[in-house]
Amino acid sequence: MLDPVIFSQEIISLARNRRFTVPSLQTQGILTADTLIWIENNQKHILELKDVVGVSYLPESSLAGFVVYAYPLVRDGILWKKRRRVLKKYRFACPDNETRSQWIKAINNTLRGLPVDSIYPFLPRHLHVLLNPASGKKKARKILQQVRSLWENSQIQITVTETSSAGEAEKFIQTLVLDKIDGLVIIGGDGTIYEVINGIMKRPDWETAITIPIGIIGAGTGNGLCKTILDLAGEPYDPIGAAFLIAKGKTRPLDLAVVQQQRCRYYSLLSLSWGFISDVDIESDRLRYLGSWKNTIYAILRILSLRTYKGRLF
């Protein structure tokens, strides 16, 4: 059973070939809360809005057209059917510019969870991207280039700040003007996330600052939090899957743990470790060039030369 129709207007699907755009027969397009439906070549097509990130004017055509950007999940591979999201563009033309504007407004409002006739104007989101180029295998810059077009298709504007040393993310976030942005994105590992959270909690306005949405694209040796979030959302564990989740803009609360040690206070997202595990995590950075193997190799070295740890439980 289909959802109730919330918008319907004339629409023409534009089939693409290698040389030019070919319009199919004009039909009545239907928009529901979850789908966009149209007829093409006597076949009914249904596009699920859960895969759609944005809609915009069709720039390369003299027609009153628009394009819908979707990233449906596909499975490829012979032995292992790996899931990934791939870009698909759906091009449409309308009888006139007014109908096109109505379609774009209706789709944008539906994607935002608003009534199709909402008077609130559509404003592109502005995200501040904090990128750690030294994380993991040093692929953070490459990852940004992979996901940039997805955000452009989502009409998301970004400002990028690169860190250059350990602890810089924590200091930077303490002075960042947060009321000028709609969210933060971290391209790095769990260590970068740790710095950002602790920097936020040191701000005078931390109670407000901690509520800002934070997106994560794993680029470190350890990406435990990113992997957990993507698994819970049913998304593939890759940069496009993470960028897609950020583009959709759905958030969920996350608990913080606090550790008080004399005059120092630390905030944690994943776990608290002490002794052997902490030594491996911190000191293995000298083997960063080994990538994901650094923790394993350094753990073996520490086992061969065990230390004694003394502590007291209260």
| Count, residues in the chain | 314
Tell me if 119 is assigned to some domain.
no
**157 & 234 share domain:** yes
Same domain, 186 and 247: yes
What's the pLDDT score for residue 81? 76
* Per-residue pLDDT tens digits for 198-238: 999 999 999 999 999 999 999 988 799 999 999 999 999 99
Report the catalytic residues: 190
> Looking at the predicted structure, is the pLDDT value of residue 106 above 70?
yes
Tell me if 177 is assigned to some domain.
yes
Tokens 């030294």, residue located = 134
The answer on 152 and 236 residing in a single domain is: yes
Q: Where are the beta strands (DSSP E) in 96-244?
A: 125-131, 156-162, 183-188, 214-218
**pLDDT at position 84, please?**
95
| Percent of the chain's residues with pLDDT above 90 | 61
Rounded CA separation 129/186 (Å): 6
Task: Report how far residue 313's alpha carbon sits from residue 292's, in angstroms, rounded to the nearest whole number.
Answer: 33
Do 197 and 107 fall into the same domain? no
Phi, psi of 12 (to 5 degrees): -130, 125
Distances (CA, A) of 139 to 58, 164, 216, 307: 33, 14, 15, 34
Domain count across the chain: 3
Task: Tell me the residue type at 119.
Answer: I
The answer to whether position 91 is within a domain reads yes
Give the domain extent around 24.
5-111
3-state helix, strand, coil in the chain (%, to 5): 35, 30, 35
CA nearest neighbour of 279 among 261, 257, 306: 306
Q: Please check whether residues 32 and 78 belong to one and the same domain.
A: yes
The pTM of the full predicted model, rounded to 2 decimals, is 0.88
